[in-house]
Every structure is written in C-alpha cells, then in structure tokens.
Amino acid sequence: MNLGFFFYQFLTSILGFFSYFFLKYRVFTGKEDRFRYIEKLGVPTIKTYYNVIWFHVASLGEIKSLSSILKHYQKNKKIKILITTVTLSSYEYFKKNLKNRNTFHQFAPLDVPFHISKFLKKWKPSVAIFIESEIWPNMIFQTSKNCKLLLLNCRISKKTFERWKYFKKSFKKIMQKFDYILPQSNEVAKFLDYFELKNKKIIGNIKFTNNKKNNPNILKITCSKNSWAAMSIHFDEIDDIIDVHLKTKKEHENLTTFLIPRHLDKINKIIIKIKIKNLDYQIVSESTKIKNFDGIVIVDRFGIADDIFNKVKIVFMGGSLINHGGQNPIEPLKYGCKIITGKNISNFNEIYNELINKKLAKISNTSDSLAHELKNFFRREKLINNFKKNKIYNKFSKNIFNRTIKFLDNYIIK
C-alpha cells in the first residue's frame, strides 16, 4: 500500500471518531440538514436497495449538469438510482427536479473508512459514477473493490494539476481505481496524460447537455431593445458594470442593466455605489414588475435569472474581470443569448473555447471594450439571429448527450 494513502487512511480514521460532533456543529450553524445529517456517517434514513446505479455529485452545479442524463435513465422503471450529494442546495434541487419512485437521495458519507463501509454494505451499488472532481481517496479505493467505478466529466483545474504533480504516484494510484475516466475537455485529458493514465475517453462536457429552460415566471419584464444582463458579478466587478452602464447610456437611452450579484450579502454596498453615481435602480424583491426601466435592476433573489435570459439577448458573465476564473455561461446559452466574458476564464477555458469558435461568445476585458460591444450589439440588433444561435448550440448539446448515454449504457443497461 502507498505510504501516503496509508497515512491518509489512518488520519481520517482517527478524525472519524469526531465526525458526529463536527456534523452536530454544522447542523447548529445551518450547514447540515438537522434530520438527515447522520447519513454522512454512512447511516441511511430511508429504505435501501441492492444493485442501485449510484451517481455521486458534490454540489448544485454538478447535479444540474447531470440532470438530463438522470432523467433519461429514470424512464427505465427497472433501474433504481441512488444520488448522493454533499450540499443542502443540491438536495433542494433534487427534491424539486429529480425526486422519483425509482430515484433516491442520500447525503454522501464523509471520507472516513468505517462510514463508507457502512454506506456500501447498505446500498451495494452495481456501478458507481462520480461526477467532475470528486476525488476522495477512501471512497474511491473502497468503492472500486465493490463495483465498477467511473469518473464522468472529470475536471482538474490548472491549480489542482500543479498541486498533484508533487504527488504523482499517489494521484496515479487513486485514478487507476476508476474503470474509466471521462475528461470534460482536451485540457483535462492532457493533465491525465502527464500521470500516464490510459483509462480515459473523451466524449464531451456534460454541462452542455442540460438544455431544459426553467422559467420561474416571477419577474414580469417589458424591456426596451437596449437591455442586457451582468450575471454572477463579484463585488470587485461592480464598479466596472456601473461604468459600462454609464458609457453605454451615452449612446443608447432607456438602457436597462440587469445586475445579478454573485453574493447577495453585498446588496447594500452595491446600492451605495449606484447611488453615488446618481443612477436610478430597482430591487426585484421590492417589485417584480420591470417595465422599460431606465437604470439598473438589482436581482437580490436566487433562482430567477432565467426570466431575465428569456428577455435579454446579451449577457456578460462575471468572475472574469478579476482573477477568479470566470463563471459557467451555459444557463443563458439555452435562451440564445450572446455571451461576453472577461479574459480570466481558467475555470471554464474549454467551454469558452468551444463557444468562441462557434461565435456564441466573445472576450471583452475592460469596461471600455464591454461598453463598445454593447453599443455595437444594440445598433445591429435586428441583424442578430438568436434562432440560429440556438440551433447551433442545441445540435452541439445533443451530440454530447448521445455520446454520453451510449457510453454509460455499457454499464447501466444489462
């Protein structure tokens, strides 16, 4: 046994004895479900079944990307599906979108040997499919001894790659426990090549496969043609977005800017910045009717951005003007929106490369260049063919979905 893994296993076993108190504290702070936290100790709170197809995701983004694939297999009533997640938000998404007679949810056990052992004995999965970057050594080693194990949509960031390079042998040993690794991009495949891993196959990024539009119909929007959205904007980018609004407004009056902050706890500070510039603003929690509003609409509620994407035709993705790595542009793409981003997109390089090649996205890294893009867009709006953009994206998405299902069928359909 690898010495590093032995030490990790020993350490997590010792810490595992304090798991109960750790989870109780998280319940107290509102970070765990107070009725179901024991599931993270490997103890089910629902009836268990043998030979389930086990999908393991970490958080909300992963379960959303997997949604269309899960719904495909839910049509087969002979298949029993277990979904494990880590976060409360991912569980809420499951309840609203994926709960089904033959689909069960449990919070994933902590990466402690005896918790994982209890979990596996209860569920006895026939195949386990981990999503993206869920690389927990104990869980991987123990699961691989019990059933087939796949890593779907494997994601390794450049920072993570640089860290694992110092533990090349350990990382290789862990990843070899997967029967197959399906990297989400060519870049990730190259990282895996460095570790001399042969058990890999590129079929595409499953984040592109979830095309379902989710209009909550909460916002009643009547916009002028001069409207755009700034999505997932970090606080350090707020000044730039306000600046873009002011510069664009010089040429296009009656301009509506939908500002969707990344962190809602900064709303009051954002309002102060807007007031300093003497701009009109509206907060959606105070009024859900936006009618030709000339100013900045502050979206201070989660889960309603789709209403905006359904009305605007151009969206700027935040986290890209600062050194954060960008944000996932797939949600607005479903509505045929053109995507603009800053240059700091390391978290989604391959996605943006695909979109830029298909002329569905563009990089603008300063408030001047972003304002210039918006002005040009509004001038030639009548020439923009959103239907064509939708058609290109949908075809691209369908191809990845079909390849993924074809591969997974080898393990799921018997």
Q: Where are the domains of the chain?
A: 3-202, 220-394
DSSP 110: P
Task: Report the 10 Å Cβ neighbour count for 391.
Answer: 12
From 311, 310, 314, 336, select the one nearest 388 (Cα to Cα): 336
Return the pLDDT at 362.
93
Q: Which residues have CB under 8 Å from 126's CB, separation 6+?
A: 51, 52, 53, 147, 148
pLDDT classification of 394: cutoffs 50, 70, 90: confident
From 191, 133, 159, 208, select the one nearest 323 (Cα to Cα): 159
* Mean local confidence (pLDDT), 111-135: 93
**If you search the block for the tokens 């050194």, which residue do you land on?**
323
The yes-or-no verdict on residue 388 having pLDDT over 80 is no
In 5-94, beta strands by DSSP E = 53-56, 81-85
Return the pLDDT at 239.
97
pLDDT classification of 387: cutoffs 50, 70, 90: low
pLDDT classification of 181: cutoffs 50, 70, 90: very high
In 157-197, beta strands by DSSP E = 180-183
* Mean local confidence (pLDDT), 378-392: 63
Return the pLDDT at 385.
52
| Same fold: 3-202 with 220-394 | yes
The yes-or-no verdict on residue 386 having pLDDT over 60 is no
Q: Which residues have CB under 8 Å from 15's CB, separation 6+?
A: 112
CATH 3.40.50.11720 fits 3-202, yes or no: yes
Return the pLDDT at 114.
94
pLDDT classification of 383: cutoffs 50, 70, 90: very low
Torsion angle defined by CA atoms of residues 209, 351, 307 and 241, in that order, rounded to the nearest 10 degrees:
170
Q: Are 287 and 274 in contact (CB under 8 A)?
A: no
Return the pLDDT at 73.
96
Averaged pLDDT score across all residues of the chain: 90
Please list the residues that pair with 129 across neighbouring strands: 55, 150
Comparing 358 with 193, which gets the higher pLDDT? 193
The yes-or-no verdict on residue 271 having pLDDT over 60 is yes
CATH topology of domain 220-394: Rossmann fold (3.40.50)
* Mean local confidence (pLDDT), 134-152: 93
Return the pLDDT at 147.
95
* Mean local confidence (pLDDT), 341-368: 89
The yes-or-no verdict on residue 322 having pLDDT over 90 is yes
Comparing 388 with 105, which gets the higher pLDDT? 105
pTM: 0.79
* Mean local confidence (pLDDT), 13-37: 91
* Mean local confidence (pLDDT), 191-212: 89
In 299-337, beta strands by DSSP E = 314-317
The yes-or-no verdict on residue 176 having pLDDT over 90 is yes
Residue 88 to residue 77: CA distance in whole angstroms: 27
**If you search the block for the tokens 């839910």, which residue do you land on?**
74
Q: From the centroid of its chain, how far is CA 36?
A: 24
- Torsions phi, psi for 384 (to 5 deg): -75, 125
The yes-or-no verdict on residue 382 having pLDDT over 60 is no
- Classify 232 in phi/psi space as left (phi over 0), alpha (psi -120 to 50) or beta: left
Q: Are 344 and 323 in contact (CB under 8 A)?
A: yes
The yes-or-no verdict on residue 80 having pLDDT over 70 is yes
Residue 139 to residue 115: CA distance in whole angstroms: 9
Q: List pLDDT tens digits, range 242-255.
A: 999 999 999 988 89
The yes-or-no verdict on residue 384 having pLDDT over 60 is no
pLDDT classification of 135: cutoffs 50, 70, 90: confident
How many residues in total does the chain contain?
414
* Mean local confidence (pLDDT), 263-292: 95
From 292, 242, 303, select the one nearest 271 (Cα to Cα): 242
* Mean local confidence (pLDDT), 92-100: 92
* Mean local confidence (pLDDT), 81-99: 92
Look up residue 85 and give its two tokens.
Answer: 């997640």
Return the pLDDT at 381.
59
Comparing 209 with 55, which gets the higher pLDDT? 55
